[in-house]
Structure 1
């Protein structure tokens, strides 16, 4: 047994002696790699990628004070490496893409004295390389709106092309800009900024074609003219402010009748509309009514009044540019009272009576000598007395004269006494 134990003891003692010489072990998962890049870029332009080692719990762990404690490992092929910068806890590389495409770049960190050990942190980023000019269109208006995606008609728009060129690849190039504003207007400029005024509402697409040219000397072909292009577009929604609401509807109605009110909006749809009946014309408070989406400039609302009284339609509307309020007063009558129903027949009856009286007066004046004595009044006069008497408090003098002349002569109160002479 003793000879068998000797080799084991010797191995344990050997490992114990070598243990202090082993590299320090850093627990994985305590650190993260944050990658920052200025991609995308055009072919031939330089791309920069920076990797920073940070604590995974937002910096609560202390990083080692030794600046040479970590080593960054990069894989960037097929991008061509043009430069590399190392710092304490970060590393930056610069690379150039000679062909268009999306290229993954990976990086991991190990301790400096054990490059073959398990990585402390790792990360990956995909770089986009294109053969076209890189940039975007920016559209602004000389007024601030709470809805940045909408713009006002008849107000000057500023459209700018912002070129993305962090490595100054196009610093020696000359540019030409061809604009198409989507409403039939086109122009060509050498300035990347233009000003335009849309007079119509709607959605328009601004298209821009950029051409860059510059001279370049190559070992194979010598001096030549290089050219790159780029196509860009931006969608614009032109709208008008909501200037007001036109309300078309009756101001008087009876109870239990259906009332329809038409709202014409002086502004661009789509709109959000809200209304409510109140005793007085007061603005609507928040959440006082349920909003309705309206996709046109007209909207009909209906209501049936059950109680008589004075009411006010309080209306609120909003589009993506502005908002407005409007009011409409309504007087509701009970169903038993019909002032409008009585007004027309009464006026018609009075007009017919006056026409009849004038007709009788003219007829009497023209045929006064031809009138026949009649103890009974004419049928028309009798009917007028019966039907129209309650409506006339005082009859005109012409009418009384007609009645007086229509009667026969009254007999004398006494008979004359005959006398005889003897």
Structure 2
């Protein structure tokens, strides 16, 4: 019984070493190789694309590659692209795929030992494959061709011109001569400006910040001109605030200081067309006055209150009898008459000066004469 147990233990140990044996070269070689990916793109929908992965040594050949190329396996992930063919030769694996829809699709590949699926990869790499919409093939003998694009963007136009003519050969026989020329050009197609959408309030108060959002239905860049008038009328060049917009949206802020009816006028254009739009707005007086207007009023009221308090205190003070010389009195009277009551000691003193200069005023009622008989 003990002998059977020892045999079973030896079998387990041998099986364990057999499993670990493939891991040795893979772990040692991990990080020493590069996996180079190439594609014959860019591709279009429905056309076949060839992608190749080659296993290379990092240190320029100091580490020898194995002579038996069947020791390694290439693992590909290419969904949602459809695989049409696959081949391997001299540590290079090549696949052929077809895309059904346009877009950018990642393609990944890694290399492991052929008999070890769970070993650490020797190398891995990823490629982003762009697939564009179909290109239209036209065959015609007319030198002028028309084609309408359904969406804006940058497109490559390729033209192949085939010329044929009949020529007499030296042996007096006729032959057909053919020459072919390939030409290409890049087209940057923009969408016409179809309209302007304005998002913003139509009623607000003075000194309130107005924010409007403009959306342009067309391809940028756009030359935008805006102005403000009491009525919705076209803008003249001198009334235009020019702005260059490089996107399809634009934000505008404004603060109204006076109430009234206003109209924002917008004009935009790109390389193809123009568009106009209007936005009416009513501005009502705000319920509070700005501080810049309230401060002078408060200052004036404060000065008046201080002056009234000063005059009240001066009037309530005890007046002193001052003996003045005739010359000094005349000078003071002249100054007080010319300058007013601002420099007088009290209102009663002002009345006294007036009586001295103008004499006694006649009584309002004449006395009744009496006679003794």
TM-score by length of 1: 0.34
TM-score by length of 2: 0.38
Which of the pair is proportionally richer in helix?
Answer: 2
